[in-house]
Amino acid sequence: MPLLNPREVLPFPAGNNATDTIISGHHLNLTALGEWNYTLYSNGTLSNDTRCLLTFEPWTPTYLFPNGTFLNATWCWSPVESIAVRGGVAIAFAVLFGLAIVLILVNLNKHGSLHLPVTKRFYPIGRRWQWYWGLWVCATAAVSLLTSIDVDRYYLPELPVILTSFFWYLMQWGAMAVVWEAVRHWGSWMERQFIDPDPFALRQDDRRARVELYLPLLFYLFLWLNFFMIIPRNWTPIQHQRYPEQTLSDAAPAATDSRFKAAAFLLLVSWIVILLSLRHSIKHYCPRNRGFLNRAIGLVRYTPARFKLLIPLAAVVVAFQALVAFRFEYSPLRVGGNLAAIFAGGYLPSLLILYVQIAFGFLNPNEDLELKRQRRVRNQEYDREMGVVHKPSWWRRVNGEVLDPNASMRERLAANARELHGAKPRPADGGFGPVVPDDAAGPVEMTPVSPPPPAVSRPYTGRSERLHQDRTVDMAASLAFSEAAAAREAAADRARHHQELMQDAPPPPAYSEAVRTRQTDVARTRSGQSEGGVSTDQPPMRVRSMLDV
């Protein structure tokens, strides 16, 4: 892109007459140009401080109407140049960030899947945040790189340089969040492994828990302050790089002001919080060392290899943001700046952070599956200490302890009850095969109980045709509904028993009759009869059975 000084005003070339000028072989109305205050500059533009048009082939206007409208005109802020080095390298980086999106989604599916019940102490989103921030970095980096293609293609800088700078800062913002979430979640994962054998090994209201609560708030506080120092601002001066004088007077001061410097300092504080979180996790969940030197050695020793790469890369992100806040020539905000510094210090650290995360994401197992493996190993150690020897997997099938998959729940419960009393089911063929259910097994209890004899309906030998039909229906129903028949037989037995008791004496009077009798006795007592409620002129009551007493 030419960086000529447009303030070098050129006179309009002479035309066929006093009201005509020829620009790049096209005749334009000189009177209309003067009326609309157009000026011809040495960088090949025609401008009146409101509109700017290109005047060189093949973008030269072909005709000018008296109202100031040009025919076939091209704005100065158009992508008329070919893709330069900055655009070509940006395309390569954009492809790498796009590939990272696919790999991050694979890791998100792997590490975000649940294989154990969710607990309130460890939410599933905690392990996914680092991958969500990775997607954020990929998206913002792709937008910044693709828009930087037009930074070199525009004849005069305009919107593309603002967009690429805006999303570049958002990309760095997300790269720091990726490193933080990776370190924070590693501490959470260490805590989860620490308390899995004993949930009460660590308290949730001690100093350790309070530090783990406040560290994320502290990190995101400074990260958001970095965001508000950079993003909400007037970005228009950044595009004023159309000639060297304008770059020095407008763009450079705007790109290196005090807000950018303060934002770099806030990002440094966020990086220090990451170190504090790592030190806190190693202190509480790794073997402790005594002495300053031993603690320093232990800090390096117990730091995972992933963080030995991520934390220095995050430091490069912070250092480069501080560098461009003081030196404008190395900044991605600079049109035609140092491309080696822009891509090596501006985009490469964030890209490496993502690919380090992706590589270790493929190497590390899912946390739920790893926790289940640790539980199996721990149980095996417990069994070995107690001398418990488990039979091999084929033992159950050889001894007939594998239930038929088609067996009912009653049959499975009966088999479990028999196994408790030492009576294990055997396969019918004496070897492999499904277990033959015992049809004579009674109800499942803790002790064996003999099954009750089946209820048998007694035949009716009387003369009543209706009772004979009822007994026939009962016998038919007992064959289809054994339980209903048993209940009906029990009711019939109770009725027969009641009838036998009533053979020696009549049934007791009803409630209303007993009340009337009591009222009559009271009236007779008041009229001079005996106090017991029985008339003296009646014969004494003769007791015939115990029901009359």
Number of H helices, E strands in the chain: 18, 8
pLDDT score, position 52: 84
pLDDT at 7 over 90: no
Least confident of 60-64, 202-206, 376-380, 503-507: 503-507
Residue with tokens 């009576």: 423
267-272 mean pLDDT: 96
Residue 318, CB-side half-sphere exposure with 13 Å CA sphere: 22
pLDDT at 451 over 80: no
Percentage above 70 pLDDT, the chain: 77
Task: Give 1's pLDDT tier (boundaries 50, 70, 90).
Answer: very low
Rounded to the nearest 10 degrees, the angle between the axes of helix 258-285 and helix 207-230 is: 160
Strand partners, 154: 79
pLDDT score, position 300: 86
Quote the CA–CA distance of 184 and 191 in Å, as a whole number: 11
What are the residues whose beta carbons fall under 8 Å from the beta carbon of 405, sequence distance 6 or more?
Answer: 434
pLDDT score, position 292: 79
DSSP H or E segment with residue 254: helix 252-255
Least confident of 94-103, 164-173, 245-254, 434-443: 434-443
Is the CB of residue 379 less than 8 Å from the CB of residue 124? Answer: no
User: What is the SS3 string spanning 77-135?
Assistant: CCECCCCCHHHHHHHHHHHHHHHHHHHHHHHHHHHHCCCCCCECCECHHHHHHHHHHHH
Cis peptide before 508 (omega within 30 of 0): no
428-456 mean pLDDT: 43
* Greatest alpha-carbon span in the chain: 162
What are the residues whose beta carbons fall under 8 Å from the beta carbon of 156, sequence distance 6 or more?
Answer: 1, 45, 52, 76, 77, 242
Quote the CA–CA distance of 194 and 185 in Å, as a whole number: 14
What are the residues whose beta carbons fall under 8 Å from the beta carbon of 183, sequence distance 6 or more?
Answer: 274, 277, 278, 281, 307, 310, 311
Quote the CA–CA distance of 133 and 166 in Å, as a whole number: 17
Task: Give 81's pLDDT tier (boundaries 50, 70, 90).
Answer: confident
Give the highest mean pLDDT range of 172-181, 378-387, 482-491: 172-181
Third-level CATH fold of 85-376: Rhopdopsin 7-helix transmembrane proteins (1.20.1070)
483 residue type, one letter: E
pLDDT score, position 221: 96
pLDDT at 21 over 90: no
- DSSP assignment string, 382-402: HHHHHT--PPPHHHHHHTT-S
pLDDT at 470 over 60: yes
Quote the CA–CA distance of 350 and 134 in Å, as a whole number: 10
- Which region holds residue 74: left if phi is over 0, alpha if psi is between -120 and 50, else beta? beta
Q: How far is CA 392 from CA 125, 326, 385, in A?
A: 39, 70, 19
Domain boundaries, the chain: 9-71, 85-376, 395-451, 464-504
497-502 mean pLDDT: 64
List, in sequence order, the alpha helices (H) in 286-392.
Answer: 292-302, 305-326, 339-341, 348-363, 367-386
Quote the CA–CA distance of 160 and 149 in Å, as a whole number: 8
pLDDT at 155 over 60: yes
Digit-coded pLDDT (tens) for 406-441: 778 888 788 777 766 665 555 444 444 444 444 444
Task: Give 509's pLDDT tier (boundaries 50, 70, 90).
Answer: low
Digit-coded pLDDT (tens) for 207-237: 999 999 999 999 999 999 999 999 999 999 9
pLDDT score, position 394: 80
What are the residues whose beta carbons fall under 8 Å from the beta carbon of 104, sequence distance 6 or more?
Answer: 131, 134, 135, 138, 354, 357, 358
Is the CB of residue 374 less than 8 Å from the CB of residue 367? Answer: no
Strand partners, 23: 26
Task: Give 405's pLDDT tier (boundaries 50, 70, 90).
Answer: confident
pLDDT at 505 over 60: no
Burial 497-533 (b: 16+ CB within 10 A, else e): eeeeeeeeeeeeeeeeeeeeeeeebeeeeeeebeeee
CA dihedral 113, 117, 118, 120 (to 10 degrees): -160
Beta 9-10 vs 20-23: how paired, if at all? unpaired
pLDDT score, position 530: 44
Supply 108's token pair: 């998100």
